[in-house]
Chain A
Amino acid sequence: MINDEKVKVDAMVIGGGPAGLSAAYTMASAGLETIVIERGEYAGAKNVGGLLYGTVLNRMIPNFFEKAPIERCVARRELIFLGVGEHMRLSFGAEEWTRPPFNNTFIVHRSQFDRWFAQQVEGAGATLLEGTVAESLVYDGGGDERRVVGVRVRGGEEFFADIVILADGANALVTEQARKDLNLRSGRVKQDYAVGVKEIIALPRGRIEDRFNLESNEGAALDFFGVPFEGIIGGGFLYTARESLHLGFAARIETLARARLSPYEVMERFKAHPVVRSYIASGELLEYSAHMIPEGGYNAVGELTGPGVIIAGDAAGFVNMSLYKEGTNHAMESGRAAGETAIEAKRAGNFSRDALTAYETRIRKTVAWKDLRRFRRVPEVLENCPNLLSLYPRKVNRLLIDFFTVTEASKQENQRQAIRSFLRGLPKFRFVRDIIRARHLA
């Protein structure tokens, strides 16, 4: 109901990212009157680009990849270790990945993709309120009776709804305040944040395809670790978009501070590595952005529902920081679960805390939750086994180089020498322990 005096709808969603839009799409499709509040000039304005896993979206909008602005499908993935002057890589791909459903892995420009998704949401009947900043929730009642009844936006206007879905992202100011106001339990461990830095580097289409050995529409997703990230917990990535490269890294903020490194310095180190340098040569920097990523994982997830309110996406901490680096898909899955919970609550006419805990039950059945749980030890393993991503790969890299170094010595002599130098300085017991622990990463 929107009239001159008051706006009172079924649901309000704070945040027009993947989680918020999925929630809104689900609710609007079921006929709920829904408003999405997005602080950017348009949905996606606050984001740059990257990898999108599409399984959840494909369930909501079947064969979305035929209509959505996709830059390239990921036909090949690579894990690349960067040594000082050496490198090694593991490269794999499948022809099948180049055919629908493209292994559900796509490279997108989020500003375009989110805008498209927002249009689908509007098409489903929701109203998007872009360029509007949600400042706080509006409550009714006090103490235990306190419940969420709406949203206050910058400038003081208030809008009312039966349910508010908080999907305000990593730097979730509204969610944080709501947690305090409603006494929502925090996660078992404090949320940790990584900073993600990303550059968009323009290169002509043909050159990208030649340089990365790709057919048109095919893309490559490269993950980097090693020397440029030594001393911090983090790694780099390079995704090939249609006419640009997405180059960046993510690192735990705390470790950057400890190492007294600025994100800019790390980025420069990364870009200066010969492997990366040749990939981006002659490219023109188009955009530079930084983003926060909650990476505390499973153990940092707190209570997700209160009276009249549900938390989803990055605001809830649904990011998988393992090798798979999955965020958008989880955000969409939690958003969808939030939307479904709201639909049920609407049918029952009950938006109490008890009724909405159905969301937590629903979430526990999702792939997002199972993955989060499976990778719950990733933060701790990365913290406790720093050698995993530096010393060991460096040793292996060296071993390979030594094996294939051509000298006048006999091959046997060469190989013995290589193995000796591999074992030298390798902490054996810790090595075995770390390798066993490494199973938590993938």
Chain B
Amino acid sequence: MSCNCVVIVREVWDTRDLIGSILDEAGHIKPGALQTRFEPEDLNALEVALRIKDQQGGKITAIAVGAPRGVEVLRECLYRGADAAVQVDADASVLDDRALSVLLAAAVKKTDAPDLVLTGTSVVDGENAMLGAMLAAELAWDHVAWVDAVEAVAGGQAVVKRAIEMGYETVQTPLPSVISIGVALLEDDPRSPRPAKAMLKLKMKKTPIPVLTPAELGVADPAALVTTRVTRRESVPPRVIESRQVDPEDVAALKTMLNEVLKGK
């Protein structure tokens, strides 16, 4: 049985290799201080969808909210083997998960008979693991989070493996469902997620990507749906622990050091 998947993908700040502070005095990210990249867990979600497609066929539609800042996530999906891509024309950086889930639920409903919606669980942007759950609620579908692999999709059910403390559990969930993907199993496979295919790049480089406006999704003003806002960010500098050494035979020095440490010197 073929299985149609929708993958929600996001472009996020690239927090690797930082030089200097990225926050200004008011606690906002300095413009130009960060590059962006394809959210790695979303990339895993795409890989899971591509594996389902490899095994049993079906269509993969990638959906993203917002205009690309630096990385064209939707085009990257096409280069890796997604069949279609849809861009929702709204500024994701000013929307919270509620507003995003309303827009995305409407966009998912516009795709042709999706069986599964896949996305990354805890994404660098918000680190709150909410989008999958809220999207499921908006669609009135079931939701499983921290999933590392989709093992089978058959008989109106998906069987997924999810990470729990010290192990895994296998969960069965009815179709259609929203599944939030984690990192663990794919991290064990050095070939995952698969790279872009050069041939697809050549063919899809100029393919126009259809755009859906909030109005077409039945939302007049997405910003009006926003309820939660980040008002400030603070960075906590990592604690530096200085080690001290004394000769273990030298009891006097040991005593002095212990005294100093206990007195908090």
Report yes or no: A286 in contact with B19, Cβ–Cβ below 8 A. yes
Report yes or no: B203 in contact with A159, Cβ–Cβ below 8 A. no
Question: Which residues of chain B have C-beta atoms less than 8 A from A128's C-beta?
Answer: 205
A-B contact sample (14 more), CB < 8 A, given A129-B202, A131-B196: A35-B202, A37-B198, A127-B205, A129-B201, A132-B196, A132-B198, A132-B201, A155-B195, A155-B198, A159-B198, A159-B202, A285-B19, A285-B20, A287-B19
Within the complex, the shortest CB–CB distance from B206 to chain A, in Å, comes to: 9
Report yes or no: B198 in contact with A157, Cβ–Cβ below 8 A. yes
28 A/B residue pairs, CB under 8 Å, sorted by A: A2-B203, A7-B199, A35-B202, A37-B198, A127-B202, A127-B205, A128-B205, A129-B198, A129-B201, A129-B202, A131-B196, A131-B201, A132-B196, A132-B198, A132-B201, A153-B198, A154-B195, A155-B195, A155-B198, A157-B197, A157-B198, A157-B199, A159-B198, A159-B199, A159-B202, A285-B19, A286-B19, A287-B19
Chain A, residues 392-404, CB within 8 Å of chain B (1/0): the string is: 0000000000000
B2-19 with Cβ < 8 A to chain A: 19
Question: Which residues of chain B have C-beta atoms less than 8 A from A155's C-beta?
Answer: 195, 197-198
Within the complex, the shortest CB–CB distance from B215 to chain A, in Å, comes to: 33
CA distance A35 to B205 in the complex (A): 12
Size class of B's contact patch?
10 to 19
Q: Which 7 A-B pairs have the closest CB atoms?
A: A153-B198, A132-B198, A157-B198, A157-B199, A129-B201, A2-B202, A129-B198
A215 interfacial by beta-carbon distance below 8 Å: no
Within the complex, the shortest CB–CB distance from A287 to chain B, in Å, comes to: 7
A147-161 with Cβ < 8 A to chain B: 153-155, 157, 159
CA distance A364 to B15 in the complex (A): 49
Which residues does A use to contact B, with CB under 8 Å? 2, 7, 35, 37, 127-129, 131-132, 153-155, 157, 159, 284-287
Question: Which residues of chain A have C-beta atoms less than 8 A from B202's C-beta?
Answer: 2, 7, 35, 127, 129, 159
Question: Which residues of chain A have C-beta atoms less than 8 A from B205's C-beta?
Answer: 127-128
Within the complex, the shortest CB–CB distance from A71 to chain B, in Å, comes to: 16
Within the complex, the shortest CB–CB distance from A107 to chain B, in Å, comes to: 19
Within the complex, the shortest CB–CB distance from A313 to chain B, in Å, comes to: 22
CA distance A379 to B19 in the complex (A): 37
CA distance A159 to B200 in the complex (A): 12
Question: Which residues of chain A have C-beta atoms less than 8 A from B198's C-beta?
Answer: 37, 129, 132, 153, 155, 157, 159
CA distance A385 to B201 in the complex (A): 52
Within the complex, the shortest CB–CB distance from A7 to chain B, in Å, comes to: 6
**In the complex, residue of chain A having the shortest beta-carbon distance to the beta carbon of B20:** A284
**In the complex, residue of chain B having the shortest beta-carbon distance to the beta carbon of A6:** B199
Interface centre among B20, B196, B198, B201 (most CB of A within 10 A): B198
**In the complex, residue of chain B having the shortest beta-carbon distance to the beta carbon of A153:** B198
CA distance A310 to B195 in the complex (A): 29
Question: Which residues of chain B have C-beta atoms less than 8 A from A35's C-beta?
Answer: 202
CA distance A157 to B199 in the complex (A): 7
Within the complex, the shortest CB–CB distance from B58 to chain A, in Å, comes to: 20
Within the complex, the shortest CB–CB distance from A259 to chain B, in Å, comes to: 29
CA distance A287 to B19 in the complex (A): 8
**In the complex, residue of chain A having the shortest beta-carbon distance to the beta carbon of B37:** A41
B198-244 with Cβ < 8 A to chain A: 198-199, 201-203, 205
Within the complex, the shortest CB–CB distance from A401 to chain B, in Å, comes to: 39
Question: Which residues of chain A have C-beta atoms less than 8 A from B20's C-beta?
Answer: 284-285
Within the complex, the shortest CB–CB distance from B46 to chain A, in Å, comes to: 16
CA distance A91 to B199 in the complex (A): 53
Within the complex, the shortest CB–CB distance from B87 to chain A, in Å, comes to: 20
Question: Which residues of chain A have C-beta atoms less than 8 A from B203's C-beta?
Answer: 2
CA distance A159 to B202 in the complex (A): 11
CA distance A7 to B197 in the complex (A): 13
**In the complex, residue of chain B having the shortest beta-carbon distance to the beta carbon of A159:** B198
CA distance A355 to B19 in the complex (A): 51
Question: Which residues of chain B have C-beta atoms less than 8 A from A7's C-beta?
Answer: 199, 202
CA distance A159 to B203 in the complex (A): 13
Within the complex, the shortest CB–CB distance from A69 to chain B, in Å, comes to: 15
Question: Which residues of chain B have C-beta atoms less than 8 A from A127's C-beta?
Answer: 202, 205
CA distance A128 to B202 in the complex (A): 8
**In the complex, residue of chain A having the shortest beta-carbon distance to the beta carbon of B33:** A286
Question: Which residues of chain A have C-beta atoms less than 8 A from B19's C-beta?
Answer: 285-287
B163-202 with Cβ < 8 A to chain A: 195-199, 201-202
Within the complex, the shortest CB–CB distance from B112 to chain A, in Å, comes to: 23
Question: Which residues of chain B have C-beta atoms less than 8 A from A2's C-beta?
Answer: 202-203
CA distance A284 to B22 in the complex (A): 13
Question: Which residues of chain A have C-beta atoms less than 8 A from B195's C-beta?
Answer: 154-155
Question: Which residues of chain B have C-beta atoms less than 8 A from A153's C-beta?
Answer: 198
CA distance A157 to B195 in the complex (A): 12
CA distance A37 to B203 in the complex (A): 14
**In the complex, residue of chain A having the shortest beta-carbon distance to the beta carbon of B196:** A131
Question: Which residues of chain A have C-beta atoms less than 8 A from B199's C-beta?
Answer: 7, 157, 159
Question: Which residues of chain B have C-beta atoms less than 8 A from A154's C-beta?
Answer: 195
**In the complex, residue of chain A having the shortest beta-carbon distance to the beta carbon of B76:** A131
CA distance A287 to B17 in the complex (A): 10
**In the complex, residue of chain B having the shortest beta-carbon distance to the beta carbon of A131:** B196
Within the complex, the shortest CB–CB distance from B189 to chain A, in Å, comes to: 16
Within the complex, the shortest CB–CB distance from B90 to chain A, in Å, comes to: 26
Within the complex, the shortest CB–CB distance from B175 to chain A, in Å, comes to: 31
Question: Which residues of chain A have C-beta atoms less than 8 A from B196's C-beta?
Answer: 131-132
